[in-house]
Amino acid sequence: MQEDITNTFRKAKVGEKIEYTGSMLVMRDIAQKRLVEIDKSGAALPLDLNGQVAFYAGPTFAKGNMVIGPTTSKRMDKFLEFLISKGIVATVGKGRRTQEAEVLCVKYKVPYFVAPSGCAAYLANCVTNWEIIAFEELGPEAIYRIEVTGFPLLVATDVFGKSVF
Protein backbone atom coordinates (compact mmCIF):
# COMPACT_ATOMS: atom_id res chain seq x y z
CA MET A 1 0.00 0.00 0.00
CA GLN A 2 2.63 2.53 1.12
CA GLU A 3 4.87 1.34 -1.72
CA ASP A 4 2.09 2.19 -4.21
CA ILE A 5 1.89 5.70 -2.81
CA THR A 6 5.63 6.13 -3.05
CA ASN A 7 5.55 5.03 -6.70
CA THR A 8 2.67 7.40 -7.47
CA PHE A 9 4.53 10.25 -5.85
CA ARG A 10 7.69 9.53 -7.78
CA LYS A 11 5.87 9.53 -11.12
CA ALA A 12 4.16 12.85 -10.39
CA LYS A 13 5.29 15.73 -12.58
CA VAL A 14 5.60 19.35 -11.52
CA GLY A 15 2.32 21.28 -11.67
CA GLU A 16 0.26 18.09 -11.53
CA LYS A 17 -2.70 18.09 -9.15
CA ILE A 18 -3.33 15.11 -6.89
CA GLU A 19 -6.29 14.38 -4.63
CA TYR A 20 -4.53 12.46 -1.90
CA THR A 21 -6.27 9.92 0.28
CA GLY A 22 -4.16 8.39 3.04
CA SER A 23 -2.27 9.44 6.12
CA MET A 24 0.15 12.27 6.91
CA LEU A 25 2.29 13.23 9.88
CA VAL A 26 1.73 16.85 10.88
CA MET A 27 4.93 18.42 12.20
CA ARG A 28 6.55 21.83 12.18
CA ASP A 29 9.58 23.74 13.45
CA ILE A 30 9.84 22.82 17.12
CA ALA A 31 8.72 19.19 16.78
CA GLN A 32 11.36 18.57 14.13
CA LYS A 33 14.00 20.32 16.19
CA ARG A 34 13.12 18.02 19.08
CA LEU A 35 13.26 14.89 16.90
CA VAL A 36 16.75 15.84 15.75
CA GLU A 37 17.85 16.41 19.36
CA ILE A 38 16.41 13.07 20.50
CA ASP A 39 18.13 11.30 17.61
CA LYS A 40 21.45 12.98 18.39
CA SER A 41 21.20 11.90 22.01
CA GLY A 42 21.00 8.29 20.83
CA ALA A 43 17.47 7.71 22.14
CA ALA A 44 14.68 6.18 20.06
CA LEU A 45 12.33 8.54 18.26
CA PRO A 46 8.77 8.64 19.66
CA LEU A 47 7.38 7.68 16.25
CA ASP A 48 8.26 5.83 13.05
CA LEU A 49 8.79 8.13 10.08
CA ASN A 50 9.46 5.37 7.56
CA GLY A 51 7.18 5.53 4.52
CA GLN A 52 5.33 8.56 5.87
CA VAL A 53 4.33 11.90 4.38
CA ALA A 54 5.38 14.95 6.44
CA PHE A 55 2.86 17.81 6.42
CA TYR A 56 4.25 21.14 7.65
CA ALA A 57 1.28 22.54 9.54
CA GLY A 58 -0.16 23.49 12.92
CA PRO A 59 -3.90 22.85 13.32
CA THR A 60 -6.63 24.39 15.40
CA PHE A 61 -9.90 22.76 16.40
CA ALA A 62 -13.25 24.42 15.70
CA LYS A 63 -16.81 23.11 15.56
CA GLY A 64 -15.61 19.51 16.00
CA ASN A 65 -13.18 19.75 13.09
CA MET A 66 -9.44 19.81 12.78
CA VAL A 67 -8.89 23.07 10.90
CA ILE A 68 -5.57 22.85 9.14
CA GLY A 69 -3.43 24.23 6.35
CA PRO A 70 0.20 24.39 5.25
CA THR A 71 2.85 26.60 6.81
CA THR A 72 5.97 27.96 5.08
CA SER A 73 8.14 25.00 4.09
CA LYS A 74 11.36 26.98 3.78
CA ARG A 75 11.69 27.12 7.57
CA MET A 76 11.83 23.30 7.62
CA ASP A 77 14.56 22.95 5.00
CA LYS A 78 17.27 22.46 7.61
CA PHE A 79 15.45 19.34 8.83
CA LEU A 80 14.71 17.82 5.42
CA GLU A 81 17.77 15.62 5.14
CA PHE A 82 17.11 14.26 8.63
CA LEU A 83 13.48 13.42 7.77
CA ILE A 84 14.56 11.72 4.56
CA SER A 85 17.20 9.70 6.43
CA LYS A 86 14.36 8.41 8.62
CA GLY A 87 12.29 7.33 5.64
CA ILE A 88 9.92 10.22 4.87
CA VAL A 89 8.66 9.76 1.27
CA ALA A 90 7.17 13.20 0.56
CA THR A 91 6.70 16.60 2.17
CA VAL A 92 3.71 18.95 2.03
CA GLY A 93 3.71 22.67 2.81
CA LYS A 94 3.52 26.05 1.14
CA GLY A 95 5.90 28.32 -0.72
CA ARG A 96 9.25 28.09 -2.43
CA ARG A 97 12.02 26.10 -0.76
CA THR A 98 15.76 26.72 -0.78
CA GLN A 99 17.84 25.35 -3.61
CA GLU A 100 19.53 22.99 -1.15
CA ALA A 101 16.15 21.46 -0.28
CA GLU A 102 15.19 21.08 -3.93
CA VAL A 103 18.44 19.22 -4.56
CA LEU A 104 17.57 16.81 -1.75
CA CYS A 105 14.09 16.22 -3.23
CA VAL A 106 15.67 15.06 -6.48
CA LYS A 107 18.63 13.17 -4.99
CA TYR A 108 16.46 11.04 -2.71
CA LYS A 109 13.35 11.02 -4.93
CA VAL A 110 11.21 12.71 -2.29
CA PRO A 111 8.78 15.08 -4.03
CA TYR A 112 7.56 18.29 -2.43
CA PHE A 113 3.89 19.16 -2.69
CA VAL A 114 2.07 22.38 -1.91
CA ALA A 115 -1.41 22.39 -0.43
CA PRO A 116 -3.70 25.43 -0.79
CA SER A 117 -2.79 27.97 1.87
CA GLY A 118 -5.29 30.15 3.68
CA CYS A 119 -7.95 27.51 2.93
CA ALA A 120 -8.24 25.85 6.32
CA ALA A 121 -12.04 25.70 6.49
CA TYR A 122 -12.05 23.83 3.16
CA LEU A 123 -9.25 21.46 4.18
CA ALA A 124 -11.02 20.74 7.49
CA ASN A 125 -13.58 18.81 5.45
CA CYS A 126 -10.84 16.60 3.96
CA VAL A 127 -9.55 15.45 7.36
CA THR A 128 -11.43 12.35 8.48
CA ASN A 129 -9.43 11.40 11.56
CA TRP A 130 -6.58 12.61 13.74
CA GLU A 131 -4.56 11.64 16.79
CA ILE A 132 -1.67 13.14 18.72
CA ILE A 133 1.51 11.11 18.28
CA ALA A 134 4.10 13.13 20.23
CA PHE A 135 4.80 16.35 22.16
CA GLU A 136 1.18 16.97 23.19
CA GLU A 137 2.26 19.90 25.39
CA LEU A 138 3.18 21.86 22.28
CA GLY A 139 -0.49 22.25 21.35
CA PRO A 140 -0.68 23.29 17.68
CA GLU A 141 3.02 22.44 17.34
CA ALA A 142 2.60 18.79 18.44
CA ILE A 143 3.00 15.87 16.03
CA TYR A 144 -0.36 14.55 14.78
CA ARG A 145 -1.20 11.64 12.50
CA ILE A 146 -4.10 12.59 10.28
CA GLU A 147 -6.19 10.63 7.78
CA VAL A 148 -7.32 12.61 4.76
CA THR A 149 -9.66 12.03 1.83
CA GLY A 150 -9.38 13.92 -1.45
CA PHE A 151 -6.79 16.26 0.03
CA PRO A 152 -5.69 18.70 -2.73
CA LEU A 153 -1.97 18.68 -3.49
CA LEU A 154 0.04 20.18 -6.30
CA VAL A 155 3.50 18.92 -7.22
CA ALA A 156 5.87 21.82 -6.49
CA THR A 157 9.21 19.99 -6.84
CA ASP A 158 9.19 16.68 -8.67
CA VAL A 159 11.87 13.99 -8.53
CA PHE A 160 13.02 14.94 -12.05
CA GLY A 161 14.40 18.26 -10.85
CA LYS A 162 11.61 20.61 -11.93
CA SER A 163 10.09 23.21 -9.61
CA VAL A 164 6.84 25.12 -10.06
CA PHE A 165 8.35 28.28 -8.55
Measured CA to CA in angstroms, residue 135 lies from 7, 47, 82, 89, 145 at distances of 31, 11, 18, 22, 12
User: Comparing C-alpha atoms, which of 64, 68, 58 is closest to residue 29?
Assistant: 58
Q: Which is nearer to another protein, 30 or 132 (CB)?
A: 30
The stretch near another protein (CB under 8 A) out of 42-50, 66-74, 83-91, 105-113 is 66-74
Nearer to another protein by Cβ, of 47 and 119: the residue is: 119
The answer to whether the CB of 141 falls within 8 A of the CB of 31 is yes
Output the smallest distance, CB 57 to another protein, in A.
7
Please check whether residue 58 is in contact with residue 31, taking contact to mean a CB–CB distance below 8 angstroms: no
Stretch that binds another protein, among 47-55, 76-84, 99-107, 122-130 (CB under 8 A): 122-130
40 near another protein (CB under 8 A): no
- HSE (CB half, 13 Å, CA atoms) of 73? 27
CA–CA dist 86, 134 (Å, integer): 16
Going along 41-121, which residue ranges are E strands?
A: 53-55, 60-62, 65-67, 90-93, 112-114
Check residue 17 for interaction with another protein (CB under 8 A).
yes
Asked if 132 is part of the footprint of another protein (rule: CB under 8 A), the reply reads no
Closer to another protein by CB, 7 or 128: give it: 128
Residue 113 contacts residue 18 (beta carbons within 8 Å) = yes
CB of 131 to another protein, least distance (A): 18
Which of 11, 46, 48, 61 touches another protein (CB under 8 A)? 61
Among 10, 96, 145, 162, binds another protein (CB under 8 A): 96
Binding footprint of another protein on the chain (CB under 8 A): 15, 17, 30, 57-63, 65, 67-69, 71-72, 74, 94-96, 114, 116-125, 138-141, 152, 154, 164-165
